[in-house]
Structure 1
Amino acid sequence: MDVFVARQPIFNRDKEIVAYELLYRNSLKNFFDPSVSSSKATSILITNSHINIGMDNLVEDKYAFINFDSTLINNDIPSLLNKDSVVIEVLEDVKPDRVFLSNLLALKKQGYKLALDDFTLDYPYQNTIPLYDIIKVDFMLAGLDGAKKIMDKYKNGKRKFLAEKIETVSEFNTALDMGYDYFQGFFFSKPEIIQGKAATSINMQFLKLKEEINKNEVDFNNISKIIESDIGLSYKLLRLVNSFSLNSQVSSIRHALAILGVKEIEKWLNFIMISDFVADGADEVVRLSIIRSRFAELIAEHSNQPQMKYQASLVGLFSMIDVVMGKPFDKIFKEIPMSQHVKDAITNKPTSPLYDMFQVVLSYEKADWDTLDDYTSKLLLKPSEIPDLYFESVSWANKYVFTVDELEEEERRKNSQ
């Protein structure tokens, strides 16, 4: 049985990622076995080779929030996991009888962190609240008034509160003002236009390269000269290409162009541009952009439209360029040359042939499994392949971010000498 696992980032008050919630489903609906319980699905999630092999890739050194029902807790399944990397998330509809509470308390004594999901003011088992280290409040479910009343009534020095379904910067700021400690949702992927803040400008070298690459007749010599005129860009490009793309080392830009081709080099240049644009504290924007880019490329390769893989990669990469640059899409599209198909997919226009691929990316990311079903069938994708493509994309993005961080550290050391 296939296990589909997505992740949602959880931030602290400084917008630093401290954890990911793992959102899962045991299979796509066309292959769903209704006899499989949520307990069995979670057990498979935990023991499945994807997770055993890929937990580090999925959450790195952060905590993983994982849902557990009473059956799993009563069978001591959470103890299979490292207490220093997992938060046991108890579903709000669990009826905490004596056996359950005894087992939950045993896990707490072993050092596991406990979280209560979807807490509301009328939660019927008030006497169990002291057991939990983290209380999760769904802002859509509780409403702003309810979310504030919960803080006023239950907040104390030790217990932490997590605001869920935070989808805009405004909601984040509201929860921050209420005193919430952690924040979950995709608010970080929404543009924040701050009056008086200078929007990021496009590097002229990059524009020259895009113009040259998009010509009907591509001139390798001109492209090489433009890249080589920027020593920093050349160094980054060669380091990244050698880290990811080839078995043999590439020693020059011309060599890289000859082996990889223009489209592959353009992809790496786009990655570098995105990384350079993003301000400190916005690493997750880069990471998610790279995950989306790689995921979209792999989806295209495995779909009935493999010829669209480079354009699909662009859609994923530039899908949050408005966040990165602090500008609306229409202004950015005037500055960065890209095809109309790419622009339309980024702005969610179904007329684009890339639209379906991007919807697979977005629906998996948000664990919207029903929507995922619809678009995978349109693209003739094999359901069993989707989790592997996602895990590969996350792993690939982690490696990319690590390599870029190494390059930046090298640059800082050189500048300090």
Structure 2
Amino acid sequence: MITDLVEQPDDYPRVKEFFLARQPILNHHEDVIAYELLFRRARTGPADVVDDLSATASVIAHASELGIGNVIGGSLGFFNVDAAVLDCDFVNFLPSDKVVLEILETVKVTPALVARVAELSEQGFVFALDDVVCQDAALQPLLPFVKIVKIDITGMDKTALSSLASYFKVRKKLLLAEKVETVEQFHACLEIGFDYFQGYYFARPVVLSGKKLAPSQLVILSLMALIDSDADTFDIEQTVKKEASLSMNLLRLANTPGLGVTTRIESLGQALAVLGRRQLKRWLQILMYAEHGKGGHFSSPLLQLATTRGKLLELIAEQLHPGERCMADKAFTVGVMSLMDTLLGQSMEQILVQVPVVDEVRDALLHRKGFYGDLLKLVEYIERLEQTGAMLLPTMNKLDLSIEDLYALQLRAFDWSNSISRGI
């Protein structure tokens, strides 16, 4: 029993012995509204569900150490739970208004479970059913206390999916499609009437021949090229002024808490002076994604993913090579630029013609080679923890990075990414 583990702290797994991932959950506008938080025990073998639930219980028991606000920002957090986890009093350590408790499909529905779910629901907790694939009569007692139904769409044809969705829709449940891996699947689920979507379809590159970039994107690419060619500051400022929205966003970014500026920046010239060319280049990389989002908000999942990748790679490089500012900058560039093929609908080769980068960065972006390529593979493995978790330890061992260090750096990267969202 997990409750027994809590009574034996010496045997109880520490939070930092587990890998942490957050997977974005989107609404029908493709805005990020929540994250599912996944915790997997460090291992090289196949996943063990019991270990994973023990990880979840450990994190809940140490909720203050996790710093849930740092991880999810202003969004909701989804947690996997079973009967043993729900029976533990430390579930109440979680803020009921910030979490959704996912009851796993492996959980046996008993009168005791239903009573506990009803009790927690009365306390304000929101529940979801996880990995639903059919109309299961055994779930009926839980339905009055469940708000969200997560349907695994893997291998399910549209007719069967539509029928299952209708079954829960008439019972006034919100539907979440999980394992959405292609844009076509997203549109099919949208047409059926799903409310939320989980999966990395939004990060899959789709090259569109003849696609024209937005004027603001062209200006940003031009500015990045100017910086790389060491152009005059006057030329850079005049180029920025060609795009009013870019000027406004740069002023906003120059005033973000994440930058550490203590006095308000009022003019474009001040912003450029305060940022400096190194910072200007990284903010331009971020703004490329912000321009893509609705109204420049941080609701874009690509923006969230790119800023998290960039910051985490930078922090890892700083950890492994302290004092090597140039290496940290290259790592940040690799992380942020790794999704630009998806953002722009162009191949990475085409993008690198327009935005010159050093060979090490090019090798990482095109071939996942070298030190920076290993860093990029590491964050990609983390994002798909369920599928690629077994690759994490070998990659970390190659980099000489500990689980504890990775965990701490992730929290800092999530917090920084969330702080950027409030400045855009």
| TM-score when normalising by structure 1 | 0.81
For 1:175-254, list aligned pairs within 5 A. 175-191=189-205, 198-201=212-215, 206-207=220-221, 209-215=223-229, 218=230, 222-229=231-238, 230-231=240-241, 237=250, 240-241=253-254, 243=256, 244-246=258-260
Between the aligned partners of 2:227 and 2:320, the Cα distance in structure 1 is 26
Does residue 76 of structure 2 align to residue 67 of structure 1?
Answer: no
Amino acid corresponding to residue 14 of structure 1 in structure 2 = H
After superposition, what is the alpha-carbon deviation per residue over 1:196-236, rounded to whole angstroms, capped at 9, x for unaligned? 97433576664554445435xx5xxx442223333566775
In structure 1, the partner of 2:122 is 109
Does residue 331 of structure 2 align to residue 312 of structure 1?
Answer: yes
In structure 1, the partner of 2:308 is 291
- Mean Cα deviation higher: 206-215 or 174-183: 206-215
Q: Relative to structure 1, is the Cα distance of residues 309 and 128 closer, same or farther in structure 2, using a 3 angstrom cutoff?
A: same
In structure 2, the partner of 1:89 is 102
Does residue 404 of structure 2 align to residue 391 of structure 1?
Answer: no
Does residue 178 of structure 2 align to residue 169 of structure 1?
Answer: no
Q: Relative to structure 1, is the Cα distance of residues 84 and 325 closer, same or farther in structure 2, using a 3 angstrom cutoff?
A: same
Between the aligned partners of 2:420 and 2:185, the Cα distance in structure 1 is 31
Amino acid corresponding to residue 60 of structure 2 in structure 1 = I
Q: Which runs of 5+ in 1 are unaligned?
A: 405-417
Q: Which has the bigger relative contact order, CA under 8 A and spacing at least 6? A: 2
Cα RMSD of the aligned pairs, angstroms, is 3.5
Amino acid corresponding to residue 319 of structure 2 in structure 1 = H
Q: Relative to structure 1, is the Cα distance of residues 250 and 270 closer, same or farther in structure 2, using a 3 angstrom cutoff?
A: farther
Q: Relative to structure 1, is the Cα distance of residues 61 and 173 closer, same or farther in structure 2, using a 3 angstrom cutoff?
A: same
Between the aligned partners of 1:198 and 1:151, the Cα distance in structure 2 is 37
In structure 2, the partner of 1:327 is 346
After superposition, what is the alpha-carbon deviation per residue over 1:90-116, rounded to whole angstroms, capped at 9, x for unaligned? 111111222222111222233322111
Amino acid corresponding to residue 338 of structure 2 in structure 1 = S
Which of 358, 374, 387 in structure 2 is aligned with 1:356?
374
Q: CA deviation at 1:45?
A: 0.8
Q: Relative to structure 1, is the Cα distance of residues 103 and 339 closer, same or farther in structure 2, using a 3 angstrom cutoff?
A: same
Q: SS in structure 2 opposite 1:5?
A: strand
Conserved? CA contact 1:224–1:253, under 8 Å? no
Q: Relative to structure 1, is the Cα distance of residues 135 and 51 closer, same or farther in structure 2, using a 3 angstrom cutoff?
A: farther
Conserved? CA contact 2:105–2:131, under 8 Å? yes
Between the aligned partners of 2:60 and 2:421, the Cα distance in structure 1 is 26
- Mean Cα deviation higher: 55-64 or 258-267: 258-267
Conserved? CA contact 1:205–1:226, under 8 Å? no
Amino acid corresponding to residue 415 of structure 2 in structure 1 = S
Conserved? CA contact 1:163–1:183, under 8 Å? yes
Give the % identical residues: 29
After superposition, what is the alpha-carbon deviation per residue over 1:149-189, rounded to whole angstroms, capped at 9, x for unaligned? 42244431511221100111111011112222211111222
Does residue 408 of structure 2 align to residue 378 of structure 1?
Answer: no
| TM-score when normalising by structure 2 | 0.80
- Mean Cα deviation higher: 230-239 or 185-194: 230-239
In structure 2, the partner of 1:156 is 170
Q: Relative to structure 1, is the Cα distance of residues 303 and 49 closer, same or farther in structure 2, using a 3 angstrom cutoff?
A: farther
Does residue 55 of structure 2 align to residue 46 of structure 1?
Answer: no
Q: SS in structure 2 opposite 1:313?
A: helix
Amino acid corresponding to residue 100 of structure 2 in structure 1 = V
In structure 2, the partner of 1:365 is 383
Conserved? CA contact 1:68–1:90, under 8 Å? yes
Q: Relative to structure 1, is the Cα distance of residues 141 and 107 closer, same or farther in structure 2, using a 3 angstrom cutoff?
A: farther
Q: SS in structure 2 opposite 1:125?
A: helix
Which of 135, 143, 152 in structure 1 is aligned with 2:149?
135
Conserved? CA contact 1:315–1:345, under 8 Å? yes
